[in-house]
Chains A and B, each alone.
Chain A
Amino acid sequence: MAAGLAAPLVRAADGPPAPGYGSVRGIAMDVGGKPLATVTVAIRSADGATDRQVLSDTDGSFAADNLRPGTYRITASKEGLSSPPATTVEVARDQTVRPKVVLAAAKSTPSIEEELAAMKERIAALEAELRARNTAEAAPAPSAPAPAPPAPAPPSQAPQAAAPAPPAPAIPEALQAPDAAPAVDNATPFAFGDFTWLNGTPRNKDTVLDTKFFTPEIRFDTNYMEDFNQPKDHTIVGATESFRSGEVQIEQVSVGGDFHWQNVRGRILTMFGMFATTTPRNDASFGVGQWDLRDAYKYVSEAYGGYHFNVNHGLNVDAGIFVSYIGLFSYYNFDNWTYQPSYVSSNTPWFFNGLRVQWFPTNKLKIEPWLINGWQSYAKYNSHPGLGGQLLWQPKEWFKLVANQYGFGQDNLGLPHTERLHTDDSIELRYYNDPESPNISKMAFSLTADAGCQYGGGLQCTGAPSKNKESFVGWMLYDRMWFHKNTYAITLGGGEMSNWGRYLTLLPPINGADAVTGSPYFTELPGQRAHMWDSTVTFQYMPKQYITWWAEVGYRHSDVPYFAGRGGVTPPGFSVGGTNGAPGQYACMSGAASGASDLPTATTNCASSGGVWFPDLRRSETKVSVGVMVKF
């Protein structure tokens, strides 16, 4: 074998042996015991299932790992050396066999003439093979006598086999006009199309920095909002994206990224800014037991680790905190068409804590079951975990269907026998695309519909409100137009929700109330109604893929007093902290806690303090916002 042939072969060990497999680590040497480099060593199992070829290293060593236990024949060859007889070894489980392969020197190095003669012999053999094949192919014709195998053409004769062949161009046709190859990756899920237009998906076309082990991610989100109700405590209520009025606020600062090595993976994204307070306060599960989970997780937006299996188009098993795409929009505003999404998105979960499996049976379909602690909860409220899952189907670049389902969870503090059901289903459709147009370059819409309810423990999904009805129905529709090569975009849209029992209605932070404390000023009792709708117009300027400047006008309406009015939702006298520490009670006009969560008692208790204080809640809210978002 020529030295050049050695290059394709393995020089070193394959890697550490896997459990249950064995290894061969031998040495190739000459008869004098001198190690021989670049010896081609073939290791073949007796059943023929395994056939490895490795090259010996400069010290004569060769290795093959991850061999199934069994009998193997080892042969070796090297130019100028005679091949020894095959060596048979037994490879046992988790054991290493160390054979010695001795090659004797050949009688003499073959001369050029001998090599040429050998080559001619090989060519003659190949031509004979061809003749034999020709003969075999001609033989089945019963009426025609089998032609005699053509004699090898003398050097001066014209080739007889060339006669029947049609004249061929000097340059084959395919060279003149190569095929156009398909330009898409059909192996990686959803890589066949550019889905950066989707609502809830970042539009970045590049990752600024990625290494083999870590890919960082950084997000900044700063806004200025002006609530036309002019709340004197600067507090905006009823959303998970809008929190303060008349101020510049950092909504989100996140630093983190993906860790990946071979198939092991992990992701962390921290969460500083308003999100660190405003998201955990909507989780009442923190009120179960000890260890202050809200404090433990408040700076963590995503944190999970897992493993990627090479099954079908991929199978992942991850555990930790994940972002949720119930409600279509991304938790991260940079990814969305609007800044303030409608209730169906804003009021449904942004994260899950638990176990997630992602299975990609094709490159266009994802099936993602969850086993989670509950509905946007750090902890499990009662005895049941939450079960759910997502089905994502993107058959074309211009279409997306996502369906999220949830059930079994008992997601109410103090209601151990009440279970929740929810379905959240969306489509997104890009109906126009001319990315190079200086005018309209793209148009698309998203439509989401949700429905759900709670039942058990005295609650029911249907029936009269007086029968403790707990249900949710909602929808939202957004239409977006991109302009000037996707540099600008305008999104118009809105939605509506009807939530009996108010179990998905965000509690206004009156006197610092949160999901655990509740508030006597806005109760969330069975059969209580919350019917709301909203609409927004959003303008985004996207000069670069990493930055978005935006402005938005929004109007929200509720059929019950809900939004902060001029008087705000903070009791007087508490300039620091904005709460008297007892949000579950009525507050007095002095700001002090009344000591009661029922109004008659509170009225009595507050008689000497100027009476009971009430927040200024309105039925509507108009808001203008501007901001900048950065994502690397």
Chain B
Amino acid sequence: MRNAWRQSGCLIVAAVSLTAADPAWKSKPAAQWTEEDVKQILATSPWVREVRAVVTRRLTEEQLREGGQMGQPGGVGNEGVDPKGSGPKVSLNVFSGPGGDDRSPRSLPQPITLRLRWESALPIRIAELKSHAAETPLEGDGYRIAVYGIPGGGFKGDPRELGKPLKNLAVLKRDGKKDVRPVSAAVFPSENGVVVEYLFPLSAEIGKRDGQVRFEAQIGRIVVGQTFELSEMEFMGKLEL
């Protein structure tokens, strides 16, 4: 009898736990999503990823010139990405020093946390609508992926013009299939930095059979890459991208 009670108790706890663990996009219709649900969807759903990206090292003038350029590159992902105080220090002591380790933090790759979001996915669009989030300037059908949290600001101009140089530096990769390049990109400001959004063509026809899709992009000196599990990105039983 005691065992039966214990088993029943475990079942109840398990059921409650399972119910509690079910995220809103699986357990509730969109019309019932609360503010918390919306936050959760926009922050931790399978269409959203906090990504550990990299700010590549700042090149010296010689390195830039050897690569055919002069001056530190400007624009999104280049300006404002080096923390203050990360530059070189020159001391008057010329007889001793760290040797080959004599370099500034910014001359080494630095980690940065960004957020990727499939803006075109239906649950994201609903959640954004419910949260009064700003619509992004990219128009047209396609897979829209946004990168949030890029440092810097004050970039003036048409968002799509700003995004043009970035368009060729992003890609969606799948095993055994041709890489997909975006048809357009846009840059616009947000509360926490700059957002870059890419529009990939629907002709890519990403399906469950692909298993995974990997997004890679270089935004100035920021290099970001993230693999998405398509099996997780279902909403109401269907793949949503």
Contacts and interface: CB of A to CB of B under 8 A. Distances in A.
B206 interface: no
Contacts of B65: 258, 267
A399 to B, nearest CB: 15
A129 to B, nearest CB: 7
B90 interface: yes
Interface string B51-77: 111101111111111111111111000
Nearest to B18: A167
A155 B31 CA distance: 8
Interface residues of A, number: 109
Given A162-B236, A204-B62, A260-B70, A178 B100 contact: no
- Which of B23, B58, B99, B224 has the most chain A CB atoms inside 10 A of its CB? B99
Contacts of B63: 190-191, 195-196
Given A123-B31, A183-B54, A208-B88, A10 B26 contact: no
Interface in B204-234: 216, 218, 221, 223-229, 231-232, 234
Nearest to A206: B88
B27 interface: yes
A122 interface: yes
Contacts of B69: 188, 308, 314
Interface string B22-56: 11001111111000000000001110011111101
- Which of B65, B104, B186, B226 has the most chain A CB atoms inside 10 A of its CB? B65
B92 to A, nearest CB: 10
A25 interface: no
B68 A358 contact: yes
A361 to B, nearest CB: 11
B137 interface: yes
A141 interface: no
Interface string B117-138: 0000010011001101011110
A263 to B, nearest CB: 9
Interface string B91-112: 1001111111111101101000
Chain B interface size range: 35 or more
Contacts of A165: 26, 234, 237
Nearest to B186: A8
A261 B74 CA distance: 10
B51 A181 contact: yes
B193 interface: no
A459 B237 CA distance: 84
Given A152-B29, A360-B67, A191 B59 contact: yes
A260 B103 contact: no
Nearest to A441: B100
Given A8-B137, A165-B26, A180-B52, A174 B221 contact: no
Given A123-B129, A152-B29, A153-B29, A208 B90 contact: yes
B227 A174 contact: yes
B145 to A, nearest CB: 14
Interface string A189-226: 11100011000011011111010110101000000000
B107 A152 contact: no
A184 B26 contact: no
Contacts of A167: 18, 21-22
Interface string A433-457: 0010000010000000000000000
Interface string A289-326: 00000000000000000001010011110000000000
A106 interface: no
A155 B165 CA distance: 47
A249 interface: no
Interface in B128-165: 129-130, 132, 134-137, 139, 156-161, 165
Given A155-B31, A174-B46, A187-B169, 16 more contacts: A10-B159, A172-B49, A174-B49, A174-B229, A181-B54, A184-B109, A188-B59, A188-B69, A191-B56, A207-B88, A258-B71, A358-B68, A487-B97, A487-B98, A487-B100, A544-B97
Interface of B: 18, 21-23, 26-32, 44-46, 49-54, 56-74, 87-88, 90-91, 94-104, 106-107, 109, 122, 125-126, 129-130, 132, 134-137, 139, 156-161, 165, 169, 186, 188-190, 195, 216, 218, 221, 223-229, 231-232, 234-238, 240
5 contacts: A123-B130, A126-B129, A137-B238, A162-B27, A360-B67
Interface of A: 2, 4-5, 7-12, 14-15, 51-54, 64, 119-120, 122-124, 126-127, 129-130, 133-134, 137, 152-153, 155, 157-159, 161-175, 178-191, 195-196, 201-202, 204-208, 210, 212-213, 215, 217, 257-261, 265, 267, 308, 310, 313-316, 358, 360, 363, 366, 435, 441, 482, 484-488, 542-547, 632
